Chain A
Amino acid sequence: AQSVTQPDIHITVSEGASLELRCNYSYGATPYLFWYVQSPGQGLQLLLKYLSGDTLVQGIKGFEAEFKRSQSSFNLRKPSVHWSDAAEYFCAVAPKGSNDYKLSFGAGTTVTVRA
């Protein structure tokens, strides 16, 4: 069965420190991979996505993610977090092909930033 796992439910990080959010997927073939961010009371916003090619993907707000096929992972990183990065982060996958509209989301990781 296809699945997306975000092992960390909640992460607390100090402002200025680095952040890494984990995402693992289980799929028949390498899917499209996405990271979305949701601020309180808001809808989701796309941070970045991996479609093919370079396995290190740059996104908005200083985020990057690395696709590792051997580990079935797509971890999100930011070198130095800002208080405004406090939010919930969702990893998502979509199959390649005619069903590529079908995003499957992980359970999310809540990030708290302390001063």
Chain B
Amino acid sequence: EIVMTQSPATLSVSPGERATLSCRASQSVSSNLAWYQQKPGQAPRLLIYGASTRATGIPARFSGSGSGTEFTLTISSLQSEDFAVYYCQQYNNWLLTFGGGTKVEIK
């Protein structure tokens, strides 16, 4: 099983600032890495797939990078609606795994 580790667990950021979230895989997942956003009481929403491709309708302030075992999600200028929990997920093999999540909270 590929273990996905996200850091930090909680990120305190002021509106308008940049947020950088990390995700590490226990073995290479190539670029088969997705990021999801989840708000309280809602289902996860796909933000990024293929490590760096934004899903349909996702604003350009969200960007993803990395390959292999190290990945980053960057939110360039946090808006009020971006405060949420973010999960990474690898889909490189049939045993799909998620990270533990990073909560982005208002500083």
A pairs with B: no
